[in-house]
Amino acid sequence: MAKSKPRVKVPKTAKAGEIITIKTLISHKMETGLRKDKKSGELIPRKIINHFKAEFNGTTVFETVMEPAVSSNPYIQFKMKVPESGEVVFTWTDDDGSKYTTKKKIKVG
């Protein structure tokens, strides 16, 4: 897969102190490193997204450490308490060190 495209679903507005649900999905093969190539019989090297982090105005909200047992196109859903208007930054880290990020704004009102 050439490019991993993240998709997130965050409500645009929320009440102060409201607990919202955030859904995230990123396209990624999540190669376990245990699978063998059908033609050559050699192991396909591991390549997964091993870390996910959500930050709100610079403070960490939620983190996940992932192992090869997480399915391809990892989907993560979690909750967040919205204290004020701000921006949520989502970061996925690949085994090769590359990072995929996306941002979403939440307005309190």
Partner 1 sequence: MRLNRRQVLILGAGATAVAAAGVPTMSIAADDPTAQQVIDKFTGGAAATSGRVDLGTPEIAENGNTVPIQVSVESPMTTDDHVAEVLIVADGNPRPDVAVFKFTELSGEAAASTRIRLAKTQNVIAVAKMSDGSFFMAKNAVKVTIGGCGG
Q: Rule CB under 8 A: which residues touch partner 1?
A: 19, 32, 34-35, 56, 59-72, 74-81, 83
Q: Which residues contact 40 (CB under 8 A, 6 or more apart)?
A: none
- Which of residues 73 and 102 has its CB atom nearest to partner 1 in the complex? 73
Q: Which amino acid is at 44?
A: I
Q: What's the closest the beta carbon of residue 61 comes to partner 1, in angstroms?
A: 4
- Least distance to partner 1, CB of residue 81, Å: 3
Shortest separation between residue 18's beta carbon and partner 1, angstroms: 8
Handedness of CA 65, 96, 100, 33 (dihedral sign): negative
- Please give the Cα distance from 72 to 76 (Å, whole number): 12
As measured in angstroms, the least distance from the Cβ of 90 to partner 1 is 14
Residue carrying structure tokens 């085994």: 95
Residue number with CB closer to partner 1 (10 or 76): 76
Which sign, positive or negative, has the C-alpha torsion 94, 35, 45, 27?
A: negative
